[in-house]
Every structure is written in structure tokens, then in C-alpha cells.
Amino acid sequence: MLIKPVLNAELFGSTPNGEEIKLYTIEIPGVIKASIMDFGATLTHLYVPDRNGKMEDVVLGFDDLAGYQKKEYQENYCYLGSTIGRVGGRIRGNQFELDGVTYKLEPNQGKIHLHGGKEGWDRKVWNAKPINHDSAIGVEFSLKSPEGGDYPGEIDFSVIYSVNPEGELSIEYRGTTDKATILNPTNHSYFNLGGDFSKSILDHTLRLEASRFLPIDENSFPTGELAAVENTPFDFTNPKEISVAIHQNHEQIKLGNGIDHSFAFDVQEKCASLYDPISGRLLELTTTEPGVQVYTSNFLNGNIRGKGDVAYKQHAAICLETQHFPDSINQKDFPSVVLRPGEVFSSKSIFKFSAQ
């Protein structure tokens, strides 16, 4: 029997400016319980059952708002569960040209502009509105991203998190602009399906319906090539343990310090899955996006202590960031991320959990 999800809202904390941050929880008891806060439109908790029905949280984050507001976290730019915008990934040379105008972007991670920069959407307080349509229950988070600073054009943007009676979690984006700009949002959740964040995800298996991946250079920018995964550690066309891939002696694994690469999907439906053989939890992904940035949390180093005061170490989790390819604006052969007035950007990714 299918059960309609329920939505609850509670206070999660206040920002240093005194803005109250709410936590919205969408739940089907025993099936899924997802919490999202309006700071960064961030997925903070995601409880799903293991093969014995035990509900555990499978995404990295903090127990309270204070954790997300700490200086060392904010300056680390690791984006636990946040909505990323305007543009996911690194932009080569911290600049791009659009309609003959060059736009320069401020660096935020070292010398590089990453994931929308210092004024990224991960650190904005979003407007939230409960939604209830087609039997899915959720919350629409919206913001107006003003022109100025880095990117051209004012963007009206929304992200809808919802759960349907089948227990699937959807993340949908919609955006419009008043002037030509670039837009490539994603969600930056760190999954560890074992639910114990002191352990790594190296024994999880990953399947990607992707016969090509995007090699990177020494600064982690895609080179522009779409390379065959065949005979490389990046071949996940059959499910493969992540440790097998990242322990191979391969130039691209060294450059990424693990996997920190985009993959081009061959299909959209069930294009990826992640499985934890110990708990039996399985995540299956479907997306309208052409690719996914897979990041095996290579740069977590134990400095950040998250839920339950657990130190988040290297490979504690894996991000599956469905999106257009990084640095697309500087790569003429990648699908375009340009958004023009009158166009509507829309995108949807579905995260389906089960256990076996």
C-alpha cells in the first residue's frame, strides 16, 4: 500500500544576522525521511532503511545550524548537501565570454572560482513554500539572484525537493533570466549508504551508464575531451567496487586525488546506482541532466567534525552531482549552459532507495 508523505517544519537555528532558519522534513514512516533547510536549500538528513528495515541517515552534514555556520566549514567550501549555483564546478581562468563580453569571476577555493564562488547559492537564505501536487509532497525553495558581482543577468530560480508515495526523492530546478547568462545548478549531497560516517565508502559499488568520462588537467579542469572509459579505472558500466577504481595506478586518478570527474550518461533512466553490500542499501538515480560529477570526497581530511562529532575523513562519502559538464562555457563541444531571456531552464533528478 502506498502512503502519502507528510511534511513538518521546525526551527533549525538562527543566522548571525538573526534570520530564523527552518528545517522541513518530508516523511513516509519506515520508508524515507528527508530534511532540508532554507539555508543553502540544503539536504541535511536523509534516513532510509537497510535490509533489516533499520532507518539510518545516509548523508553527511551537521546536527544543527551552528555546524553549517562555523567559519572553518564556510571557508572549506566542501558544500555538505547544498544547492550549488549558479554554476557547478570550476571555471577555467576564472572567466568566460558571452555575446562578446568577458566576465571575470572571483576565486573562492584557492585561486579558483568553484561552485558559484563566495556568493554561491549554498550560503543564501531561500524562500520556502510547501507544495503538494500529483500526490508528491515537498518544499519549493526560491531566490532571486541579482545581477552584479560575478555573473550577468538576474536569475529567478527555484529548487523543489519532493517525495512521492513510492518514496522517491526528487530534486527539480527551474530558472529564468532577464539577460543572457550561464546556469548549471546541482545538489552536493555526500552519500554514505552504510550510515556510519566514520567508515569510508570504498567498499560501496558504483554503476554508471556512461561509456565516456571527462579527463581533467592538473588544476582539475576538464581538458575538453570525452574519453572512452573502456580499460580505465573509470569504467563503471558494470557495478564495481570504488576501491578497485581509486587504487589503480592511473594518471587521472592521481590528478583527481581519487575520482573527481564528470561522466557523460548514455541513458537518463536509472543511469547510476550506488550499493552498500553491508547494509544492503541501494540508491538508483534517474536524471534529465547529460552527466554527473562523481567526487569521492578526496579533500575531506578529518578537520570537519559533523553529526555526532564524527570527523569527516577522506572517502567518507561520495557525491553524485547531476549536471551539465563543468566549464561548459569555455568548451565549445560541451552541451551549452547559456540561458537567455524567454527560455526556461528545467532539470530533474530522482533518487530512489531500496535495500537488498
CB-nearer residue toward ligand BGC: 115 or 307: 115
78 binds ligand BGC (CB under 6 A): yes
Q: Judged by CB under 6 A, which stretch of 6-14, 119-127, 291-299, 309-317 contacts ligand BGC?
A: 291-299
Distance CA 224, CA 333 (A): 7
Q: Would you list the DSSP string of 281-308?
A: EEEEEEESSSEEEEE--TT--S--B-GG
For ligand BGC, which residue has the nearest CB?
295
For the bound state, the minimum distance from the C-beta of residue 81 to ligand BGC, rounded and expressed in Å, comes to 12
Using CB under 6 A as the binding rule, the residues of this chain from 173 to 232 that contact ligand BGC are: 220
Tell me whether residue 204 is one of the annotated catalytic residues: no
For the bound state, the minimum distance from the C-beta of residue 119 to ligand BGC, rounded and expressed in Å, comes to 15
H/E segment holding residue 65: helix 65-69
25 in Cβ contact with 10 (< 8 Å): yes
79 binds ligand BGC (CB under 6 A): yes
For the bound state, the minimum distance from the C-beta of residue 259 to ligand BGC, rounded and expressed in Å, comes to 9
Q: How big is the CA angle at 292 (ends 291 and 296), to the nearest 5 degrees? A: 160
Using CB under 6 A as the binding rule, the residues of this chain from 14 to 53 that contact ligand BGC are: none
The 3-state DSSP class for residue 11 equals strand
8 in Cβ contact with 14 (< 8 Å): no
Burial of 348 (0-12, 13-18, 19+ CB in 10 A): middle
CB-nearer residue toward ligand BGC: 12 or 77: 77
CA dihedral 246, 250, 253, 257 (to 10 degrees): 100
162 binds ligand BGC (CB under 6 A): no
Active-site entry in 27, 209, 289, 321: 321
Answer for which of 142, 277, 299, 338 binds ligand BGC (CB under 6 A) is: 299
Tell me whether residue 20 is one of the annotated catalytic residues: no
215 in Cβ contact with 171 (< 8 Å): no
CB-nearer residue toward ligand BGC: 12 or 79: 79
> Catalytic site residues?
188, 321
Give the residues lining the site for ligand BGC (CB under 6 A): 77-79, 114-115, 220, 260, 293, 295, 299, 319, 321
